Amino acid sequence: MRRADVEVTHTDVLVIGSGAAGLISALQAASHGAKVLIISATTPAGSSSELAQGGIAAAIDDDDAPALHAADTLSAGRGLCSLDAVTVLVGEGPAAILRLQQMGVPFGDEAGLEGGHSRRRIHQAGGSRTGHVVVSALVKLVRQEARICLASPERACALSTSSRRCIGARTNRRLIIARSTVLATGGYAALYARTTNPPGSRGEGLLLAYEAGAELIDLEFVQFHPTVLDGSSLLLTEALRGEGAVLLDEHGERFTAELAPRDELARAIAARGRAYLDLRNIDREKFSSLMRLIAQAGYDPVRAPIPVSPAAHYTMGGIRTDIDGRTSLSGLYAAGECACTGVHGANRLASNSLLECVVFGGRAATTAVGEPAVPPSLVHDVSSDAVVPVTLDVRASMWQNAGVRRESEALARLAHSYHPIARMIGSAALMRQESRGAHYRTDAPDEDSALRAHIVFQRDAAPLAARWA
């Protein structure tokens, strides 16, 4: 039962997280007349969305088509994408860009190219500050919308459930009762010692959902970005390579195709320890803010190539949803990187993730507003926290045991971690005795058609293999 001294807030839609997915979901729910409360452990500026550099993929130009974008997305996903989800993503892509434009995001005229895309379809706003420009525009609208209240810092510690329905969440400050709850808490790449993500990307939303009874899926698929400034978390965007930057080995020789899929590049660089990104012959003015950050880190891209090595960057796995953001728990929705809609499969195509936030964040909110009110008799507190502290040891163990190159002994060690997500990643990667997309096993380097399925975790049940419906 609810403790007498706990503050209780009622809202129609509770959104947890204030990155692109959370902000879009909130705006969409409010546009349907719903009262929305966003709570977020960090301000929007502390999200991964804020850091996005490359841009947003959408098939808009005359020589492009959603079908071509779908083909590239499916090819990266190595047989594990949901065709329905991909069709929605690419089909709604052009309208999503238009919508962002109407919301005040000033996209440039010329589309860029990134690895795995067969056309120039990466749309940037503010050059390599696209994430910041998008988040700022959305925050401005959220602040103008009377139906939305944004509370941060406020952290969700557990979801509240009754009769197998999610009815809100308990935070570090209060109990929130909501007709529907949208998790938009981002991914889990910051569980790794070496990452491009902010510290908040620790998979807390996944833990909240799991403890409340929802399914998690595809956790073993983690994308490692190949070109991260050595010794730091500063990502050197793929768009640089799209503009002609080349990768050199320690002898100054090219050793790979610069726009090869990220997993191939990450492995090629990891095998050498590091590589050098030569930015001397590209138009660096297009990336002026990034050049400033490189200079602040002590490097001069005009004089010499920059040392780079891989880091955990994007997590394809997450809370299993359908194409309208519904999880397997009634009343609970998920959008953005914490969700697994099926658009990425075994590997994400660059710049499809912000698009996913916009497209599926909007769809989740549109569906979530239709949930019935919570009867007063259902209102009660939950007992224990779902979130688990992340130690330096866990992060080191993730990097050592489930990094770019994996093998059974190391994965078995991780499968005994005290941290539930680390444990599930270890178990799933161990079960997936093959190499597929971003998951590379040195002891099983080929794809195995028998494993063209997803590993699903649910509390109190053994992991099982499933296919998208």
Ligand X SMILES: Cc1cc2nc3c(=O)[nH]c(=O)nc-3n(C[C@H](O)[C@H](O)[C@H](O)COP(=O)(O)OP(=O)(O)OC[C@H]3O[C@@H](n4cnc5c(N)ncnc54)[C@H](O)[C@@H]3O)c2cc1C
Query: Taking CB under 6 A as the rule, does residue 334 contact ligand X?
Result: no
Smallest distance, ligand X to C-beta of residue 179, A: 19
Cα gap 107→101, rounded to integer Å: 7
Query: Taking CB under 6 A as the rule, does residue 92 contact ligand X?
Result: no
Catalytic residue among 262, 267, 348, 432: 262
Query: Taking CB under 6 A as the rule, does residue 77 contact ligand X?
Result: no
Smallest distance, ligand X to C-beta of residue 230, A: 16
Query: Given the rule CB under 6 A, which of 95-103, 193-201, 284-292, 376-384 is the region that contacts ligand X?
Result: 193-201
Binder among 11, 28, 48, 223 for ligand X (CB under 6 A): 48
DSSP 287: G
Cα gap 419→248, rounded to integer Å: 38
Binder among 74, 89, 357, 444 for ligand X (CB under 6 A): 357
Query: Taking CB under 6 A as the rule, does residue 345 contact ligand X?
Result: no
Cα gap 47→150, rounded to integer Å: 14
| 236, 128 contact by CB (below 8 A) | no
Query: Taking CB under 6 A as the rule, does residue 201 contact ligand X?
Result: yes
User: What binding mask, one character per residue, do residues 139-168 give for ligand X by CB under 6 A, x or -?
Assistant: ----------------xx------------
What is the DSSP secondary-structure string of 12-24? EEEEE--SHHHHH
Query: Taking CB under 6 A as the rule, does residue 116 contact ligand X?
Result: no
Query: Given the rule CB under 6 A, which of 58-66, 99-107, 178-186, 395-403 is the region that contacts ligand X?
Result: 178-186
Q: b vs e for 369-386, b when ≥16 Cβ sit within 10 Å of the residue's Cβ?
A: bebeebeeeebeebeebb
Query: Taking CB under 6 A as the rule, does residue 115 contact ligand X?
Result: no
Query: Taking CB under 6 A as the rule, does residue 55 contact ligand X?
Result: yes
Nearest CB to ligand X, comparing residues 341 and 401: 341
Binder among 94, 127, 168, 186 for ligand X (CB under 6 A): 186
E strand segments, 118-186: 122-123, 148-151, 156-162, 165-171, 175-183
Instruction: Indicate if 348 belongs to the active site.
Output: no
Hey, what are 335's tokens?
């959008």
Nearest CB to ligand X, comparing residues 204 and 220: 204
Q: Residue 56: which H helix or E strand, with range?
A: strand 56-57
Instruction: State residue 335 phi and psi, 5-degree precision.
Output: -150, 155
Query: Taking CB under 6 A as the rule, does residue 227 contact ligand X?
Result: no
How far apart, in Å, are the Cα atoms of 357 and each of 54, 58, 110, 200, 280?
Answer: 15, 13, 22, 17, 34
Smallest distance, ligand X to C-beta of residue 204, A: 4
Helix, strand or coil for residue 216? strand
Query: Taking CB under 6 A as the rule, does residue 54 contact ligand X?
Result: yes
What is the DSSP secondary-structure string of 292-358? HHHHHTT--TTTSPEEEEEEEEEE--EEE--TT-B-SSBTEEE-GGGEE-SSSTTSPPTTHHHHHHH
Query: Taking CB under 6 A as the rule, does residue 16 contact ligand X?
Result: yes
Smallest distance, ligand X to C-beta of residue 33, A: 23
Smallest distance, ligand X to C-beta of residue 449, A: 29
Nearest CB to ligand X, comparing residues 130 and 256: 130
- The catalytic residues are 262
Using CB under 6 A, list all residues that contact ligand X. 16-22, 39-42, 46-49, 51-56, 130-131, 155-156, 184-186, 196-197, 200-201, 204-205, 235, 314, 336-338, 351, 353-354, 357, 387
